[in-house]
């Protein structure tokens, strides 16, 4: 998940999970999380995914970054 590091999201990715891991937190496989999240998004009302897309990269910016990344290869 990518969130812009400003406003309400400032510092979000700087939190440590060390205490939770030390207390026994385990992680499920990324593929399971991605699959289940996609299934959940698809179960939402038709307008919900568009609202959820308001955070993160725009489709245009994502396409620009991917094109630049592929051009490096």
Does residue 2 sit within a domain?
no
Does residue 30 sit within a domain?
yes
Does residue 51 sit within a domain?
yes
Does residue 68 sit within a domain?
yes
List, for residues 32-65, the tens digit of each pLDDT value: 999 998 898 888 887 876 766 556 678 898 899 9
Does residue 34 sit within a domain?
yes
Entry pTM? 0.50
Compute the radius of gyration of the chain from its Cα atoms.
16
List, for residues 4-40, the tens digit of each pLDDT value: 778 888 888 788 999 999 999 999 999 999 999 889 8
The number of folded domains in the chain is 1
Does residue 63 sit within a domain?
yes
- Structural domain boundaries, residue 41: 7-72
Does residue 29 sit within a domain?
yes
> What does the alpha-carbon distance between residue 73 and residue 69 come to, in Å, rounded to a whole number?
7
> What does the alpha-carbon distance between residue 66 and residue 60 come to, in Å, rounded to a whole number?
10
């Amino acid at each position: 998940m990518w969130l812009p590091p400003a406003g309400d999201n400032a510092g979000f990715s700087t939190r440590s999970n060390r205490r939770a891991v030390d207390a026994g937190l385990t992680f499920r496989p990324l593929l399971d999380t991605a699959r289940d999240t996609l299934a959940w998004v698809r179960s939402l009302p038709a307008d919900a995914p568009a609202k959820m897309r308001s955070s993160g990269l725009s489709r245009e910016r994502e396409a620009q970054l991917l094109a630049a990344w592929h051009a490096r290869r």
